[in-house]
Amino acid sequence: MFAIQFWGVRGSIACASPRHIKYGGNTSCVEVVAGDNRFILDAGTGIRPLGKEFLQEGVRTITLLLTHTHWDHINGLPFFRPAYDPTRRMHIFAGHLKNQGGIEKVLSQQMHEPVFPVPLEAMRAIVEFEDFTAGESFTLNGGVRIRTAPLNHPNCATGYRIEYEGHAACYVTDTEHTPGQLDENILGLIEGADLVIYDSTYTDAEFPARIGWGHSTWQEGIRLCRAAGAKRLAIFHHEPDHEDDFMDAIAAEAEATWGASFVAREGMVVNLKSS
């Protein structure tokens, strides 16, 4: 089995409101099930309910791949309950901090008084931290190939490609494009992938007023997927001000532009290989 489930699809900040019901208000968190392996992409607020499911299902070994450490991608981690259970094992990877003190230090700064009362050391699971350099590839848990690429984002970010039994899912957020110039690092990462989850914070119409903010558009996601021969695009990292009716309009326009694109919703499952 190779499947993806969206637990948080927003960028910037969680936005619970009656106008964010259909697509969801939690920030970035995506679960990847590859055979017996459980991966988590980012630890935004969506990781809290995922942690409850892991406790219920008895998942004991968890690999967390972080794109970067802006709030919307790590703020849920202190509320990920399996991390406090000494019978569980967590492996946390990041590709943007090798020369800046490493991921353990940055996560401990988030869990430090006076901004948070519980220190990182209270996480009693067996937690291993691993810093790599975006662009490196590695193999995990006997057979899952992870490829990475540097993204164009303030303070840097890492894009991931997870390959399992001949299929590939890519997670490319947060990143800013240059209009008229497809990002070669991303094209290489997503080539021929079954699914590309892409930073679609803005529309092309909004983008000119947001240059330098580190994000991209769903239209650029389609251009990249088409150029790289990727099969499907998940529009992701929604701007909190894009309420349900606005997202419905994006979904319709995106589908009309490229039928293989769809808007990611909290709770949505995408199966890449069912058996």
- For Zn ion, give the closer residue by CB, 11 or 46: 11
- For Zn ion, give the closer residue by CB, 163 or 183: 183
Nearest to 272 by CA among 227, 230, 226: 230
Amino acid letter, residue 155 = N
* Least distance from Zn ion to the Cβ atom of residue 214, Å: 6
* Least distance from Zn ion to the Cβ atom of residue 198, Å: 12
Q: List Cβ<8 Å contacts ≥24 apart for 142-151.
A: 143/35, 144/34, 144/35, 144/37, 144/39, 146/65, 147/189, 148/95, 148/189, 149/185, 149/186, 149/188, 149/189, 150/95, 150/96, 150/185, 151/67, 151/175, 151/185, 151/186
Site track for Zn ion across 55-94, x = CB under 5 A: ---------------x-x----------------------
Helices (H), 170-217: 184-190
- Binding piece for Zn ion, criterion CB under 5 A, among 5-13, 111-119, 159-167, 250-258: 5-13
* Least distance from Zn ion to the Cβ atom of residue 75, Å: 10
Task: Report strand pairing: 157-164 vs 144-151.
Answer: antiparallel
Position closest to Zn ion via CB? 70
Q: Which residues in 169-188 contact Zn ion (CB under 5 A)? A: 174
- For Zn ion, give the closer residue by CB, 48 or 70: 70
Site track for Zn ion across 90-129, x = CB under 5 A: ----------------------------------------
- For Zn ion, give the closer residue by CB, 14 or 125: 14
- The Cα–Cα gap between 19 and 245 comes to 8
* Least distance from Zn ion to the Cβ atom of residue 273, Å: 28
Near Zn ion by CB under 5 A: residue from 11, 51, 95, 159: 11
Phi–psi pair at 82, nearest 5 degrees = -60, -25
Cis geometry, peptide bond prior to residue 114 (ω within 30 degrees of 0) = yes
- The Cα–Cα gap between 183 and 133 comes to 18
- Total residues contacting Zn ion by CB under 5 A comes to 4
Instruction: Answer whether 7's CB lies under 8 Å from 274's CB.
Output: no
- For Zn ion, give the closer residue by CB, 125 or 186: 186
- For Zn ion, give the closer residue by CB, 38 or 70: 70
Binding site for Zn ion (CB under 5 A): 11, 70, 72, 174
